Amino acid sequence: MTETKKARNDMLKNPPYLEVAFDIPDWRRVEGVIRGLPDHDAVVIEAGTPLIKRYGVEVVRKIHQIKPESVVLADMKTLSSGKREARMAGEATADVIAFSGLAPLKTQEEFIEECHRAGALALLDTINLHEPEDVLNQLHVKPDIVEIHRAIDLELTDTGHQWGNIPDIKEACGGNALVAVAGGIKVPKVKEAMASGADILVVGRAITCAKDVNGAARAFLVEMGVV
């Protein structure tokens, strides 16, 4: 593990964080938006699954070339071949690597262990997982981050939030995990999300599709109280 990698992982020990999710499968657009983001320790950049599927996991390395000091997350949504996919993302310089909580328990545990060998943090994505505590309690190796995730397709029809009981989720991880919340989060919902116990707010289109990317991101950071 390099000193740079250690420093990046240490950054996630001081929440809250704003995770900017890039699900746009167009590198030219993504590059422009990334360059417009504020240079701030609280900003995490996510290479979303559609972006990775189009360009491969090496897109993470390209993001690091633009923002070398930023924590970059690879949203692999791994369901099988956990060890292999975690290693691929780690070799591509991902600092955080996401897998699906719907994967077999052995796959999840191998994924987490391989992330740690690579010097990366492991994130369990709860999309379509209705009782994440049950899965977490069965894992012998716990994830570093749990993301309570509402699918992007549901955002168009579901105005509620599926944040669940964050204290119970943290307890199931031994009290050490961070919890991220994703799905239609706007600036007016920031304080509500943080009051629920969220450590990381995952925001996509509200920033990536904004006319003023820097201003949109800063509005979240201001509401989070980190600027």
Looking at residue 15, what is its pLDDT?
Answer: 96
Q: What is the pLDDT of residue 54?
A: 97
Cβ neighbors of 215 (< 8 A, separation 6 or more) are none
**Which of these, 225, 164, 163, lies nearest to 18 by C-alpha position?**
225
Task: Specify the pLDDT at position 165.
Answer: 85
| pLDDT of the residue at 159 | 43
Residue 30: its pLDDT value, please? 98
Q: Are 181 and 196 in contact (CB under 8 A)?
A: yes
Whether the bond between 16 and the residue before it is cis, its omega within 30 degrees of 0, is yes
Closest by CA to 199, choosing from 160, 166, 165, is: 166
Taking the CB of residue 119, how many other CB atoms lie within 10 A of it? 17
Amino acid (1-letter code) at residue 173 = C
CATH class of the domain defined by 3-224 = alpha beta
- Locate the DSSP E strands across 178-226: 178-182, 200-203
Largest CA distance in the chain: 45
DSSP string for 89-143: HHHTT-SEEEEETTS-HHHHHHHHHHHHHTT-EEEEE-TT-S-HHHHHHH-SS--
Query: Measuring CA to CA, which residue among 124, 14, 130 is closest to residue 73?
Result: 124
Whose CA is closest to 178, among 154, 148, 153?
A: 148
Report H helices in 139-204.
166-172, 190-195
Tell me the whole-structure pTM to 2 decimals: 0.92
Q: For the chain, first and last CA: distance in Å?
A: 31
One digit per residue, the tens of pLDDT, for the chain of length 227 reads 444 454 444 769 999 999 999 999 999 999 999 999 999 999 999 999 999 999 999 999 999 999 999 999 999 999 999 999 999 999 999 999 999 999 999 999 999 999 999 999 999 999 999 889 999 999 999 999 999 976 555 444 444 445 678 999 999 999 889 999 998 899 999 999 999 999 999 999 999 999 999 999 999 999 999 99
Q: Which residue has the tokens 């189009």?
A: 54
